[in-house]
A and B are shown apart, each in its own frame.
Chain A
Amino acid sequence: MTRRALWMLAAGALVCTYTLSAAPQTSAAPEWLVTRADEGRSGGQLVVIERAEPRTLNPVIAVDAPSKDVIARTTADLIHFDRETQQPQPALARSWTASPDGRHFTLSLRRGIRFSDGEPFDADDVLFSFRVYQDEKVGSPQRDQLIVGEKPMAVRKIDEYTVQVDLAEPYAVGERLFDSLAMLPRHLLDRPYTEGRLPQLWGLGTAPQAIAGLGPFRLREHVVGQRMVLERNPFYWKTDRAGHHLPYLDRVVFTFVPSEDAQAVRFQSGDADVTTRLSAANFDVLFRDRGGRNYDLLDLGPGLDYTFLFFNQNSLAADAPAPVARARAWFRQLAFRQAVSLAIDREAIVRLVYKGRAVPLWGHVPPGNKLWVNRTLAKPPRSVEQARARLRMAGFSWNAAGMLMDRDGQPVAFTIVTNTGNTERNQIATIIQDDLRQLGIAVNVAALELRALLDRLLNTHDYEACVLGLGGSDGDPSNEMNVWLSSGGTHLWNPGQPQPGTAWEAEIDTLMRRQLVIRDMQERKRLYDRVQALVAENLPIISLVSPNVLVGVTKGLGNLRPTIFDHHALWNVEELFWRGRPSGAAR
């Protein structure tokens, strides 16, 4: 899965700063970044619930969200996007200039700063990092975003602390391409890279001393299957206004708790300080039982994830069995998809599955994505009557028992697949099952293990309908190129088409390609509004609901400014501190 296909459960582990660049100083003195955050006090540890063990600590190959959550605390990038303002902020680059067409960037690096092992950082590390990420042999998932117009970007060293980056074509993403691209220590990785061993490096067994980064924390200990302990990086390059070195916390402990219910229990019992994936149901339980307990619960409102139903519209092999061909013909009819969409009770999903902590969707961009959502889309209310009328006009009919029959007199029935372990999606499928029963459609629900499900969706195409979610990253349409381009590998309903199969898919292709190469935000928004309208009209995916982001945090954590962007609570981990006595769970 590429960076642009970071769907499922939110990904893009992005650390953001809220910063002012330090005034230029003499070349000898380190150029610290002075944050605007409240001055805090040092000490203590923060225990954070992570739903799985990271697979690697190597920023070059990490794709899973747990790995990215940890790596984002141990590494740093050149330019950060602030998750509150969605504006670029200086990071390892203390300043930069961009040409008007967005093709040329000149970055001035912060002088005198060091990796977590004490070695200095300069332009050679930046050049090395870009070389690694762009190397096809390394196979980094970040490579995609660094190849513009099918050419890698040229990165040149102007002097020890100045770097020039040239793109082959204009690129709408602009400074965002530097965001979350971890700068690598050349002194540690140059040899393994030339020997071709870099992708295997920094696995879970690695000694902490063998890993170095520019993030606020560094690895201290990893207990297999239980926790990963990070300690304060004494060389970190940010200070507060009083000149105290960040981070404030001594340690950040990621503790692995696989099930969402176990996470809620562990958090409630005080075993952990931060949990960010609470379900609405458990959020309500924790809220009800909060009396006398030392935690705060935060409903951050609609997030960036969206859950939807889609039908298999892949083209058929010539020898496909008749039942498969028949079902595929229903799924390809717009009237059928419209009827299904009209019959689904989105408000019931919000109420029953999310206890009201979600918003119903009629377009694929959730309202949480304020910059990009098209607010003019129609929101047709649920109507079984209209759904039936739509089906009747398309040649469907009902037999004596009230079952829906297609044009050839065959009963309409299909199976919705979703992944095991996702309670919400299974509940949604059960609600849809009952809604469609009112149209006379017999729906089966089958839960599959996630990997088996993805294999069916993307490789074998052996399924009928699916409830799935996408989201994460930063909400920019450039992250979903792979989903909306008809040639994309995650163009779920019909991936990897050599030519767009329908006129509207062709139009979306044009719009998506165009928005990627212009810099004018208003024009990009206009283009993406049209994409949203086309998706809502043609319903390749039937958008259902966008859940709120629900976070639980131990009381007394200073500078906590949770956002709907990943990582909801830790994005400014270097600024977090314990008010009063250094505390935290499992002291």
Chain B
Amino acid sequence: MRRGRKGALAALAVLYLFAIFAGFLAPYDPAAQARDLAFSPPSRQHVLGTDGFGRDQLSRLLYGARISLLAGPLGAAISIAGAVLLGGAAGFFGGWIDALIMRTGELFVAVPWFYLLFAVRMAMPLRVEPAQAFLMILALVALVGWARPARLIRGVVLSARTRDYVVAARSLGASNVHLLRRHVLPQLIGVTLTQAALLAPQYILAEATLSFFGLGVGEPVPSWGNMLAVLQRYDVLSSYWWMFIPAAALVAIVLLYSMLADPLHDGAGGR
């Protein structure tokens, strides 16, 4: 178990280093179009082939990792922050606060947010940097994603609050702040870390989905999502296998994150 976690963590770290040092590692400018080499298969010049504009796939994969790998932790962090705040409050205070927050949460889960995103994208001014526009959309997705983790966190807080020693501490006159810091938050660390590790790959995949519907990062900035979006085209899907490479990268990263999530739960939750 522990070895798996370490391995996953190391592999993820390497991937993140690749993304950070994309500028050094990428053999070409990711936006440079070598128009005579459109859709050329992997070769010595272009190790992972080129796309429909003759842009180097390897360079785009490396630069694209910045967006895609950032989307995971960032989206997860925003969602978890909202979940800890609201779910924690619901669990800790209980009563009508609990009811209000949890009913609101159910509402958030039920609303089809995807259509809202289209409207938001339409309403944005035209001249927004591609990466900026994407971050705004992602933040929005992450914000409305607080409800599911919030349920879990509420449950943990609720059970922590009703433990005998917590009740005892309270009866001895311990303040809310003290109770939170001393007894409740430590219980939460394991859960939130696990949740973050589970949510991060979901947001990486969300980036791919958003790009698939044209809501993601705009040209010429690469992301794994918009690199995969060309697979919507029948000719690309059926003719150029190297255009699937970003999909392999996505699968790998999602697997690594889930390997990380399992032992995290065992390790931190049981303490």
Give the shortest distance, in Å, between B234 (CB) and chain A (any CB).
4
Q: How far is the CA of A452 from the CA of B214 in the complex (A)?
A: 15
Contact B126 A415 (CB under 8 A): yes
Q: Mark A416-450, 1 if CB is under 8 A from B, else 0.
A: 01001001001101110110010000001111110
Q: Shortest Cβ distance from A477 into chain B, in angstroms? A: 33
Segment among B13-21, B31-39, B255-263 that sits at the interface with chain A: B31-39
**Which of A285, A288, A433, A447 has a CB less than 8 Å from the CB of B220?**
A433
Which listed residue, B35, B122, B214, B235, touches A285 by the CB 8 Å rule? Answer: B235
With both beta carbons as reference points, the residue of chain B lying nearest to A447 in the complex is identified as: B214
Min CB–CB distance A443 → chain B (angstroms): 9
**For the complex, what is the distance from the CA of A63 to the CA of B129, rounded to whole Å?**
37
Residues in B214-250 with C-beta less than 8 Å from chain A: 214, 218-220, 232-239
Asked if B52 is at the interface (CB within 8 A of a chain A CB), the reply is yes
A348-B35, A445-B218 known; A281 vs B126 contact (CB < 8 Å): no
A36 at the interface (CB under 8 A from B): no
Bound form: Cα–Cα A28–B16 in Å? 87
Which A residues are CB-close (under 8 A) to B129? 444
Contact assessment for A285 and B238 in the assembled complex, using a CB-CB cutoff below 8 Å:
yes
Beta-carbon contact of A261 and B35 below 8 Å: no
Contact A284 B235 (CB under 8 A): yes
The answer to whether B122 touches A452 (Cβ under 8 A) is: yes
Contacting pair A444 B238 (CB below 8 A): no
Tell me the smallest distance from the CB of B97 to a CB of chain A, in Å: 41
Contact of A566 with B by CB under 8 A: no
Is A464's beta carbon under 8 Å from chain B?
Answer: yes
Closest residue to B235 on the A side, CB-wise? A281
Q: Which residues of B contact A351 (CB under 8 A)?
A: 35, 38
B186 in contact (CB, < 8 A)? no
Closest chain A CB from B116 CB (angstroms): 15
Closest residue of chain A to B230 (Cβ to Cβ) is A423
- On whether the beta carbons of A413 and B127 are closer than 8 Å, the reply is yes
- How far in angstroms is the closest Cβ of chain A from B135? 15
- How far is A414 from B127 in the complex, measured between Cα atoms in Å? 7
Whether B126 and A464, one on each chain, are in contact in the complex, defined by CB atoms closer than 8 angstroms, is yes
A414 to B238, CA, bound (A): 35
Nearest residue, chain A, Cβ from B236 = A281
For residues 262 through 279 of chain A, which have their beta carbon under 8 Å from a beta carbon of chain B?
Answer: 264-265, 279
Q: Which of B42-88 contact A (CB under 8 A)?
A: 52-54
Given A444-B127, A452-B122: A420 and B234 interface contact (C-beta under 8 Å): no
A289–B237 CA distance with the chains assembled, in angstroms: 14
CB proximity of B246 to chain A, nearest CB, Å:
18
The verdict on A31 contacting chain B, using a C-beta distance below 8 Å, is no
| Total number of B residues with any Cβ neighbor in A under 8 Å | 26
Main secondary structure of the interface of A (DSSP, over half): helix
Contacts of A448 in B (CB 8 A): 122
Asked if A282 is at the interface (CB within 8 A of a chain B CB), the reply is yes
Chain B neighbourhood of A429, CB < 8 A: 219
Q: Check: B130 CB closer than 8 A to any chain A CB.
A: yes
Which residue in B52, B118, B214, B232 is a CB contact (below 8 Å) of A352?
B52
Query: Which residues of A lie under 8 Å from residue B31 when comparing CB positions?
Result: 434, 437
Q: Please, how many angstroms separate the alpha-carbon atoms of A464 and B130 in the complex?
A: 17
Measured CB to CB, the nearest residue on chain B to A353 is: B52
A414 and B125 CA atoms in complex are apart in Å by 12
Q: Which residues of A348-384 have CB atoms within 8 Å of chain B's CB atoms?
A: 348, 351-352
Once A264-B234, A463-B126 are accepted as A-B contacts, the answer to whether A430 and B219 lie under 8 Å apart by CB is yes
B220 touches A282 (CB 8 A): no
Min distance, Cβ B147 to any Cβ of chain A, angstroms:
29
**B35 and A345 contacting across the interface, CB-CB below 8 Å:** yes
Central interface residue in B31, B220, B236, by most chain A CB within 10 Å: B220
Please report the C-alpha to C-alpha distance between residue A282 and residue B130 in the assembled complex, in whole angstroms.
Answer: 29
Can you list, as one digit per residue, whether each of A232-273 has a CB less than 8 Å from chain B (1) or not (0)? 000000000000000000000000000001001100000000
Question: Using a CB-CB cutoff of 8 Å, which residues 111-133 of chain B contact chain A?
Answer: 118, 122, 126-130
Within 8 A of B (CB), among A388-433: 413-415, 417, 420, 423, 426-427, 429-431, 433
Instruction: Verify A431–B53 contact, CB threshold 8 A.
Output: yes
Cβ–Cβ < 8 Å partners of B35 in chain A? 345, 348, 351-352
Check A261 against B53 for contact (C-beta < 8 Å): no
The answer to whether A434 and B33 have CB atoms under 8 Å apart is: yes
On whether the beta carbons of B52 and A427 are closer than 8 Å, the reply is: yes
Question: What separation, in Å, do the CA atoms of A458 and B192 have in the docked complex?
Answer: 51
**Is B127 a contact partner of A415 (Cβ separation < 8 A)?**
yes
- Would you give the 0/1 interface string for B152-173, flagging 1 where the beta carbon is closer than 8 Å to chain A? 0000000000000000000000
Q: What are the residues of chain B within 8 A of A446 when measuring CB–CB? A: 126, 218
Q: In the complex, which of the residues B33, B54, B214, B233 contacts A261, with contact meaning CB atoms closer than 8 Å?
A: B233
Distance between Cα atoms of A204 and B232 in the complex (Å): 31
Neighbouring B residues of A463 by C-beta, 8 Å:
126
Contacts of A427 in B (CB 8 A): 52-53
What 0/1 pattern do residues 202 to 220 of B give for CB contact below 8 A with A? 0000000000001000111
Residue of A nearest to B234 (CB): A261
Query: Which residue of the partner chain A has the closest CB to B237?
Result: A261
Chain B nearest CB, measured from A581 CB (Å): 31
Contacts of B126 in A (CB 8 A): 415, 417, 444, 446, 462-464
Q: How far is the CB of B84 from chain A (nearest CB, A)?
A: 36
User: Which A residues are in CB contact (< 8 Å) with B239?
Assistant: 285, 288
Complex Cα gap A265–B53 (Å): 24
Instruction: Write the chain B residue with the least CB distance to A444.
Output: B127
A46 to chain B, nearest CB (A): 23
Q: Which of A185-224 contact B (CB under 8 A)?
A: none
Q: Which residues of the partner chain B approach A444 to less than 8 Å between Cβ atoms?
A: 126-130, 218
B238 to chain A, nearest CB (A): 6
Nearest B residue to A413, CB-CB = B127
- Given A352-B54, A444-B130, A445-B218, output 17 extra A-B contacts at Cβ < 8 Å: A261-B237, A281-B233, A285-B235, A345-B35, A413-B127, A430-B219, A430-B220, A433-B220, A434-B53, A437-B31, A444-B126, A444-B129, A445-B219, A446-B126, A448-B122, A449-B122, A463-B126
19 A–B contact pairs at CB < 8 A? A261-B232, A261-B233, A264-B234, A282-B234, A282-B235, A351-B35, A352-B53, A417-B126, A427-B52, A430-B53, A430-B220, A433-B220, A434-B33, A434-B53, A444-B129, A444-B218, A446-B126, A449-B118, A462-B126
Binding site for B on A (CB under 8 A): 261, 264-265, 279, 281-282, 284-285, 288-289, 345, 348, 351-352, 413-415, 417, 420, 423, 426-427, 429-431, 433-434, 437, 444-449, 452, 462-464
